[in-house]
Structure 1
């Protein structure tokens, strides 16, 4: 017997041990990552798709902007930095919007507003985290001195009083698919490999459905007889 065989077996077993450790870690982290993504990505994305926002930007104009402080005065907010913390400082922006596409509004001398004095939200969730959501910049862009200037926005066909400043159907669907597919695929792959390595029944089941070709010795014996 070759002296290098035991050493090779030892290397293979060591590699298998560390690979198993990595796969177990990946499976464990994938579960917690998926649970973390449900309230922050999956649930908001599903809610956004069910709200059926208009995919083409329509025309909005801010009519009222209030900056308030205190829990009592911040019963709602157009923008929140953080989706779980309580709001003690808030910007409240009201808008009028017309279903006229924003790209066509300049051709209209007078706009007929379809919905007046409704709440404007920064996105479908009304909240987010820096740097993607910065409430100070949001207020400067749509409130303060900018009030009265038409800007693109998106309204919900299911809830017409809901208007958001940012929306992309493609990005929302992509985030939903990736947040579901990647953690579950990593978990399933890791568990499948570990099951094949350490579950004898799983290995026999896989081999049962594999096509086995006869060995060369068996073919030679058949020819002799």
Structure 2
């Protein structure tokens, strides 16, 4: 009876180990592809944004020109693209002037001199995104068309002063970068580590070898020292 119960427990443990291993292998596989997917969409844009060193305090912008055009040849750049991997066949191109005066202080200024004029204006550092966070029609209505000439807050790059964006958050950018680097890699390392411990035949023996190697050497050294001291006493006694 006890033997049958023991076999049942062993079988359940083996099944649990098998399904756990299957899940860990899937997690490791998915983590690799997730990391490769995040590199062009999150990691690279985040690093580029941080290197551009955007001013975190919004300054004052004013739209000077808004062009709507169609055709790949006419859309060499776009202020907003819904989809970061496809070529734009319809695009909004908005140009702005901006002053480094903080937007919250702009209304107190009697005279404004623009630091950069007629520069390209982008919805975010990547100039693209996916609905619902990025809606290019709404963006064009907000910053172009009839609103042209109305001051609004924007963010400029300290490294590349000609780069101006409508949305930027240093905290969000850094958080997205850290999460996109940490989560897939930690899941991959943890999954592979557990699988290696379970299925790598030499891992356990290697650990035990290193654990017992040094104590054995110490015992042998003490034993040899004892016999040498006894021999020395007999010879010179």
Provide the TM-score with structure 1 as the length reference.
0.90
Q: What are the superposed Cα offsets for residues 131-164 of structure 1, whole Å, 9 maximum, x if unpaired?
A: 1111000001100111111111000111100000
The aligned residue for residue 62 of structure 2 is 61
- The answer as to whether partners of 1:197 and 1:203 remain within 8 angstroms in 2 is no
3-state SS of paired residue (2:54): coil
Q: Output the CA distance in 2 between the equivalents of 1:128 and 1:210.
A: 54
The structure in which a higher percent of residues are helix is 2
Residue 21 of structure 2 corresponds to which residue in structure 1?
Answer: 20
Residues 1-225 of structure 1 correspond to what in structure 2 (within 5 A)?
Answer: 1-206=2-207
Structure 2, unmatched stretches of 5+, are 213-237
1:101-141 alpha-carbon deviations (Å, 9 max, x no partner):
11111111221110001000000001111111110000011
Alignment size in residue pairs: 211
Q: What secondary structure, in the 3-state scheme, does the structure 1 residue paired with 2:3 have? A: coil
The separation in 1 between residues aligned to 2:104 and 2:88, in whole angstroms, is: 35
For residues 168-220 of structure 1, the C-alpha deviation after alignment (integer angstroms, 9 at most, x for no partner) is 00000000000010000000000000000001222234556789xxxxxxxxx
Could you tell me how far apart the structure 1 residues matched to 2:104 and 2:4 are?
78
For normalisation by structure 2, the TM-score amounts to 0.86
Moved more, 23-32 or 80-89: 80-89
Q: CA deviation at 1:75?
A: 1.3
Pairwise CA distance, 1:74: 1.1
Contact 1:27 1:190 in 2 (8 A): yes
For structure 1, list consecutive stretches of 5 or more residues without a partner in the other structure: 212-225
| Higher radius of gyration, 1 or 2 | 2
Query: What's the CA shift for 1:3?
Result: 2.3
